[in-house]
Structure 1
């Protein structure tokens, strides 16, 4: 996947307390019959309840804040914020590229970080992309996949959204390989984390229109396809989001709502 301004799809927030709220939603979604279950989603009943919880949080908290952020923040500033957080992610890509035996991609990630941190004024300007220094983004979930660890069942996490057992197990490494984790000043670290989450959500507002039909199934299938594409570096087929085969008419955009 080519890098420009990347949205970091895996938001790291504490999970404690959410499971209780999910339990209160137990009656809101029915469990599919065994013969109707998706082979990659054996826990669909539980996942749909968590999905419903996440939708409520998004609809009444995160999405309105993201919409307000987009409204009041000039587009160049939004681009700079996204570039800043993406630049910090280059260090994670460098580490995981080395763990996957991809020194070339590691070198590109290191070069991007140096170029954008210096010439790009702390990463606010993605000068490396203008120089055509681009590579593939890597995280520890992809590293585990390259090492042969199976993805396991699909799993929806409270607040964090779509995942798999493998990607969930990779979360601690991804958290500790992101530089803001090591900021000792609590208000600064929390403020940057909150800004990162809001900026990421604002970057997804336009993509909501692509979601049609059963939102849960659409997001699940898109997530699994995308992660398999990333783990295989595209060797199993074309990127599902770069294909002209996705053709939507206006009716597909009605009442579309992003949940994760």
Structure 2
């Protein structure tokens, strides 16, 4: 699937990776008949494809092998604990942006999750909040800008980060400075945690990436935009005639 989803840094990149993992998990195999019709949301497609190719090379020769090694040597329960830990840190984003969006209930649930998982969940390694029924809608500053009426802008592939839009790209500095790892003073600890976060996020795509067929660039773009709009609209899908939803779903591919 390439670094377009994998070689991102910190929480802002991890969120994109997990979003794409969800999209692929829902969509299954992309049809070989992915539409070649130009997408009006992607007027910079020529530039974006070049960045996509650059990211893909970095992923193929660096990040993906590292993620495979991490997945091979790390037991599943430990991987789950690592994912829980970083997801718990992300609750700070959700609480902050929920308040900015005028969603006090979601902010309350998110802050409750953070407190519960940080204490009873052993610093977030466990997720007792979910088992207790505290389910939250993830929010970031890009979604906050959308609620404030900022247009989405053209689709944009960023080096190392991957799929984005102009609005999403503009939100990244705020997401960065509202993420707890940014304020870890010890450089070694901070870089180690960020590296582990990226490896964990990239490893979550290893099982799904082989399900993609056809033009990967177009599929990833259309699926990412669709998922982005799904989240901005709090779970309500928008109709988009330029997104090909004709996926071939193979239940055997997702069998345990």
Deviation at 1:211, TM superposition (A): 1.8
Structure 2 counterparts to residues 109-124 of structure 1, below 5 A = 109-124=110-125
Distance (whole Å) between structure 2 residues aligned to residue 236 and residue 147 of structure 1: 19
| Structure 1 residue aligned with 2:33 | none
Structure 1: state its 5+ residue gaps. Answer: 1-7, 13-34, 239-243, 254-260
In structure 1, the residue matched to 2:5 is: none
d(CA) in 1 for partners of 2:238, 2:180: 33
Gap regions ≥5 residues in structure 2: 1-9, 15-35, 240-244
What do the CA deviations read for 1:178-198 (whole angstroms, capped 9, x no partner)?
A: 100001111111110010001
Q: Alignment length, in residue pairs?
A: 218
Where 2:163 maps in the other structure, the secondary structure is strand
SS of 2:197's equivalent in the other structure is helix
1:43-62 deviation line (CA, Å, top 9, x unaligned)? 00000000000000000000
For residues 40 and 171 of structure 2, what CA distance do their matches in structure 1 show?
22
**Aligned residue number for residue 168 of structure 1:** 169
Alignment partner, residue 66 of structure 1: 67
TM-superposed CA distance for 1:247, in Å, is: 3.3
1:232 and 2:239 aligned: no
Confirm or deny: 8 A CA contact 1:141 1:170 kept in the other structure.
yes
Moved over 4 A (4+): none
User: Secondary structure in 2 aligned to 1:156?
Assistant: strand
For residues 219 and 66 of structure 2, the distance between their equivalents in structure 1, rounded to whole angstroms, comes to 24
Alignment match, 2:199: 198
Per the TM alignment, residue 132 of structure 1 is displaced from its structure 2 partner at its CA by: 1.1
Partner of 1:140: 141
Partners of 2:187 and 2:206 in 1: CA distance: 29
Q: What is the aligned-residue RMSD (CA, Å)?
A: 2.3
Q: Are the structure 2 counterparts of residues 158 and 188 from structure 1 closer, same or farther at C-alpha, using a change threshold of 3 Å?
A: same
Cα contact 2:11–2:90 (8 A) shared by 1: no
Provide the C-alpha distance between the structure 1 equivalents of 2:161 and 2:104, rounded to a whole number of angstroms.
31
1:200/1:190 CA distance change after superposition, 3 Å: same
1:11 paired residue number? 13
Aligned position for 1:215:
216
Give the Cα–Cα distance (whole angstroms) in 1 for the partners of residues 161 and 229 of structure 2: 19
**Counterpart in the other structure of 1:47:** 48
Q: Return the structure number with greater relative CO, CA threshold 8 A, min gap 6.
A: 2
Per-residue deviation at 1:9?
A: 7.3
Separation in structure 1 between the aligned mates of residue 112 and residue 196 of structure 2, nearest angstrom: 26
